[in-house]
Structure 1
Amino acid sequence: GQDRANVELRTVDLAREQENMTRRSALVASGAISGEELIHARHAVRAAQAALTMASEQLKRNQALVERTSVGSHPDVLAAAAQVRNASIALSRTRILAPVGGVVTKRSVQVGQRVSPGVSMMSVVPLDHLWVTANLKESQLRDIRLGQPVTLTTDLYGRRVVYHGRVIGQDAGTGSAFALLPAQNATGNWIKVVQRVPVRIALDPAEVTAHPLQIGLSMKVAVDTRARDGKRLVAIDASSQNYRTTVFADELARAEAHVRRIIDDNS
């Protein structure tokens, strides 16, 4: 509607400028006006014609955008729907959800304290899904393979509680190689030191639930290396061992349902 009104306005402007040029053309011969004023009138007609052409092209372009569109596929509706989605997701994120179930630790905020976005308030430790990092000597890694069974004991419960796990990965280097200040033996006064490589061992979740552990405890590890048909290192295409959460999976679904409800109410 606005584009059509703009075309009509430009049409009226062009007609007015053409009438002005016609009157001035008749008066030039009698000397009532100067030739310069007639030139200005012609330029005004050209400008009005260009403005009309621009308005007509704008109308055609907008008609092409909305031609054969429904309420849900209209460009303006799509733009507004994107804003509704963003607002819906922002509203849902005003409720802070824990990505995993666990124990709150390292809390740095108090009740009633005002915090800024991005500030770390606490850590959530999922104590039902733990692993052990065994720092094995480099001479002990010869027969270590992925998937080998492991038995573990801890000073917390003693030998009466035995945990079972399996080897799931090794680090890409020794602990000293990734230290903050790696050792440099450039003086030639070199003494061989047995290096250690972190090996990750996954624990049985049921056993951890029955006998809970805390992070940082000491464990005694015994790896059964009889089965050596596995790989030494994790393959590139191996499954990830990271934590996963689904607490944010329904945010977009709720936003889409809200958008669809608004469109259906106005269809």
Structure 2
Amino acid sequence: MADATFAQDAAVDPVQARRQSQRRTWLTRLALLLAVAGLLWAAWYLLIGRNEVSTDNAYVNAEIAQVTPLISAQVVEVRVRDTQMVRRGDVLAVLDTSNARIAVAQAEADLAAARRRFEQAAATSESLSAQVAAGDAEVTRAEAQLTAAEADLTKAQTDLKRRESLRGTGAVSGEELTAVRRAFAAAKAAASSARAAVEQARASRTAAAGQLAASEALVAGSSIDTDPAVLAAKARLEAAQLDIVRAVIRAPIDGVITRRQVQIGQRVSQGAPIMSIVPVNNLYVDANFKERQLRRVKVGMPAKVVADLYGSDVVYHGRVAGISGGTGASMALIPAQNATGNWIKVVQRLPVRIELDPKELAAHPLRVGLSTEVEIDLTSAD
């Protein structure tokens, strides 16, 4: 019985030995394969991997133009639809200009009235200048009359004194003395009247001179085209005419119409968005890299972009245009409050803008919001 068992073990041992040998061979091969893979990965990292960073958290973006009317009016015509391609200057919508035309007519009337007021002020200045000259002549005449009245008064006073000195001698009658006294009183009254006339003439001349100065201040240094009131009326007219021009809403940039929110007959308000234009020929990519990936990233470094829309068959070439001033979390509407007690560190991401080659973008158009993969070459910069 013992001999049979020994013979069976002897028969089994070669099989087990062969299996163990085969297992050792496969383990050796696996170890060699893993070692080769590790060497290949190390070589790739040393030669390539450490000189590039990549992320699939990247999306197409653009500087979208908001189309807003500059006046409030009713829409009478809409010439575009969503997804339509437009060029800069194309008419998008037309607003009613009835109120604007009335404003233009009112502004034209105000301008004509301002011109007439300036002409009237200029004519008034000439009239007042003539009145001042006439006032000077009137003062001269009144002064001459005063001189004559004072001479008459002096003569009457002399005659009166001579007659009164002869009254006691009987050479002068009472009637003659009375007539001389009456003449002296009349001369005195005439002199007083002449003085008053001089003062009145001088006051009239002063008043006319003041009115002339005030009138000349309105037109001094100005012409009918440079008068402040005329210029203000011109400005109001230009503003009213500009409102008519603004009633035709044009595309500010080249792009595709999106989110059109205006219909014929709708009254739009000044500054309220009515549609958007996406500049599909001027798109860029916002790539959100982890903070540790950005240690060596610099503005100007070349980058490759692959869009999920076309797959790896289409590769866009671009460059790093800029790095955001803050992480996405810090720019959120409600930033994270890390000062709380239950805090867990989360790797932050920082947006990096990648500008694309316009020719490649024209050959394979993209749209805002599409997913992409971005790879930045860290070995050189443009």
Shorter-chain TM band:
0.5 to 0.7
| C-alpha distance in 1 between matches for 2:232 and 2:331 | 50
Equivalent residue of 1:55, what SS?
Answer: helix
Alpha-carbon distance in structure 1 between the residues aligned to 2:266 and 2:139: 68
Retained in 1: the 8 A contact 2:301–2:380? yes
Which protein has the larger Cα radius of gyration, Structure 1 or Structure 2?
2
Q: What amino acid is aligned across from residue 221 of structure 1 in structure 2?
A: V
- Please identify, of 128-137 and 187-196, the stretch whose mean Cα deviation from structure 2 is larger: 187-196
Query: Secondary structure of the residue that 2:268 maps to in structure 1?
Result: coil
Residues 47 and 104 of structure 1: is their aligned pair in 2 closer, same or farther, counting only changes over 3 Å? farther
Shift of 1:104: 0.6
Unaligned runs of 5+ in 1: 31-37, 231-267
Which of 129, 134, 149 is the aligned partner of 1:7? 129
Residue 62 of structure 1, CA deviation: 3.8
Cα distance between partner residues in 1 of 2:201 and 2:269: 58
TM-score by length of 2: 0.47
Aligned position for 2:328: 175
Asked whether the equivalents of residues 128 and 208 of structure 2 are also in contact (C-alpha less than 8 Å), the reply is: no
Note closer, same or farther for the CA distance 1:81–1:209 as it changes in structure 2 (3 Å cut).
farther
Judge conservation of contact 2:257–2:275 (CA < 8 Å) in 1: yes
Give the structure 1 partner of residue 106 of structure 2. none
Aligned letter for 1:155? D
Aligned pairs for 1:140-155 within 5 A: 140-155=293-308
Match of 2:127, SS state, is helix
1:227 CA drift (Å)? 1.8
The CA deviation at 1:159 is: 1.0
> 1:30-86 CA deviation, whole Å, 9 max, x = no partner?
6xxxxxxx7xx96895375144234146438845445xxxx9xx5249838954655
Task: Give the secondary-structure state (helix, strand or coil) at the position aligned to 1:166.
Answer: strand
Shift of 1:4: 0.8
Could you tell me which residue of structure 1 aligns to residue 358 of structure 2?
A: 205
- Residue 192 (1) aligns with residue 345 (2): yes
Map 1:75-154 to 2 at 5 A: 75-76=226-227, 79=231, 83=235, 86=239, 89-154=242-307
Q: Which amino acid letter does the alignment assign opposite residue 224 of structure 1? A: D
What is the percent sequence identity of the aligned residues? 42
State the 1:14 CA deviation: 8.3
Deviation string, structure 1 residues 116-165 (Cα, Å, up to 9, x no partner) = 32221111111000000001100000011111111111111111111111
Per-residue deviation, residues 3-43 of structure 1 (Å, max 9, x unmatched): 212333465578889999x99xx99x76xxxxxxx7xx968
Q: Tell me how far apart the structure 1 counterparts of residues 322 and 353 of structure 2 sit (CA, whole Å).
A: 5
The reply on whether 1:55 has 2:212 as its aligned counterpart is: yes
Q: Give 3-state SS (helix, strand or coil) of 1:75's partner.
A: coil
Contact 1:148–1:225 (CA under 8 A) maintained in structure 2: yes
Q: Name the structure with the higher helix share.
A: 2
RMSD: 4.2
In structure 2, what is the equivalent of residue 253 of structure 1? none
Contact 1:108–1:121 under 8 Å retained in 2: yes
User: For 2:319 and 2:200, how far apart are their aligned partners in 1?
Assistant: 87
Q: Structure 2 regions of 5+ residues with no counterpart?
A: 1-121, 150-185, 190-195
Compute the displacement of 1:114 (Å): 2.9
Partner secondary structure for residue 159 of structure 1: helix
In the TM superposition, what is the alpha-carbon distance from 1:93 to its structure 2 partner? 3.0
Query: Shift in Å at residue 172 of structure 1?
Result: 0.6
Query: Which piece of structure 1 moves more, 111-120 or 164-173?
Result: 111-120
What pairs up with 1:19-34 in 2 under 5 angstroms?
Answer: none
Corresponding letter in the other structure for 1:97: R
Aligned to 2:62: none
State the distance in 1 between where 2:351 and 2:200 align.
83
How many Å separate the matches in 2 of 1:191 and 1:60? 77
What TM-score comes out, normalization by structure 1 length? 0.65
Asked if residue 216 in structure 1 is aligned to residue 338 in structure 2, the reply is: no
